[in-house]
Amino acid sequence: MVFSSTLFLFVYLPLVLGIYYTTPLKYRNAVLLITSLIFYGWGEPVYITIMILSTLIDYVCGMLVDKYRDNKRLARRFVYCSVAMNLSLLGFFKYSDFFIKILSVIPVFAGLKPLGVELPIGISFYTFQSMSYTIDVYRNDAPVQKRFVPFAAYVTVFPQLIAGPIVKYREIAEQLADRKSSVSQCAEGVKRFIAGLAKKVLIANNIGRLWDYAKELPAGEMSVAMAWLGITAFAFQIYFDFSGYSDMAIGLGKLLGFEFPENFNYPYTSRSVTEFWRRWHISLSTWFREYLYIPLGGNRHGKFKTYRNLFIVWALTGFWHGAGWNFLLWGVYFAVILMAEKAFMLKALDRTARPVGHAYTLILVWIGWVLFALEDLAGTGSYLSVMLGFTGNGFIDGKTIYYLLSFGPVLLTAAIGSTALPARICRHIERHPGLKTAVPVGCILLLVLCTAYLVDSTYNPFLYFRF
């Protein structure tokens, strides 16, 4: 993480907000840009040049696309330049060693050694965000930004810089030009930030310990129930980790006068895998749909091309997450499921009871999380073999019961928290005249509890920082 959690929460964030609110409106984009660069550069001062380079490329390309708009061929070349440069940066830092390892198997390339290049934090997010601007300017979906500072502030804005949500320029173009923070918006931002912090610190970190135990167990010592319990822990960990970060980003955005798009919509309540991916990491799914699936033809040119496009998009979605065969396999796995659902299964699921569709979805998603979480394919195969009952230490054992009892409260909290029930209860409390102070008091208590956990812990990584 670029800052330690406590340093960010108690020093940097209050300082930034203090400077931001006391700065005249016309200079706030500059303040936001400077503070965001400091935030990113604190942990990675060398790689800040990569972000600035990506920002400059897309700013200049956007200007040239707008200038030569009447010359479609020339304008397209500047779009291609933007896309090529961003993908080249992403490809070099994220995938160079992966392809070098593949090439080194061929005798003529046997001498090739991995470069050992470290992955700049957030590069997968800000390159996608930045180049979408140039594409949108070409499509007339977004206005060109002729001033560098507002555009650079859009790319580097620190709340969602490192792990999203991926914000398209057209979604906040007007807010970059003119935004004001109201008391109600700030109050909502504080509540959203604390809710995200609690998701991460109180649920994701704690339930992640169960997954850490499970994945280290040898396959011969693991029961079927333990395998399912372990991957259930990972499923909740990654959801509360990533959705918690998104909530924190959206909350901080509100404090700065921005309205960032939602990134999660209770995905574990879905009754099909198709629905699940409409609810999970919404900004990434939307990005791939708008900038890859639809340009490839979407579903407009017959079933074969529709399935081909789905396969390409999901293979690349998996590869976007990491330079590993497991991520590619994960993407292909969901591509096959989504194609099957589109072909015939969605109609069948519509006729089944909701609990059946829900169980079907969670089973397939849980299997997918095994592919995602375990980068060693041999380990993935062993874990799945236990899950499916082919190997392992029986159906259930004493160790499984011990962990189930030990982590029962946090598992139950996670299960309830992954539904809309807590939000509905909070809205009901806020509307009740006699309970107006309950939510603010609850937020204060959550903040105190999170603070205690943060002070006691020295390491609080976000899972999606590595993507």
State the catalytic residues.
Answer: 321
296 phi-psi bin (left φ>0, alpha ψ -120 to 50, beta other):
alpha
Q: Which residues contact 214 (CB under 8 A, 6 or more apart)?
A: 222, 226, 227, 229, 230, 231, 233, 234, 403
* 419 alpha carbon, distance to own chain's centre: 19
Question: Is 249:195 a contact under the CB 8 Å cutoff?
Answer: no
State phi, psi for 144 to the nearest 5 degrees: -70, 140
Q: Report helix, strand or coil for 378.
A: helix
Give me the residue label for tokens 């099957």. 340
Cα(316)–Cα(310) distance, integer angstroms:
10
Alpha-helix residue ranges (DSSP H) falling in 68-147: 72-103, 123-138
Instruction: Give DSSP secondary structure letters for 26-81.
Output: GGHHHHHHHHHHHHHHHH-TTTHHHHHHHHHHHHHHHHHHHHTTT-HHHHHHHHHH
Cα(371)–Cα(255) distance, integer angstroms:
38
For the chain, what is the total number of helices (H) and then of strands (E)? Answer: 22, 0
Give me the residue label for tokens 């309830």. 416
Range 299-308, long-range pairs (CB < 8 A, 24+ positions) = 303/343, 306/342, 307/339, 307/342, 307/343
Q: Report helix, strand or coil for 361.
A: helix
Quick one: angle between helices 205-216 and 398-406, nearest 10?
170
Cα(351)–Cα(364) distance, integer angstroms:
19
Q: Which residues contact 24 (CB under 8 A, 6 or more apart)?
A: none
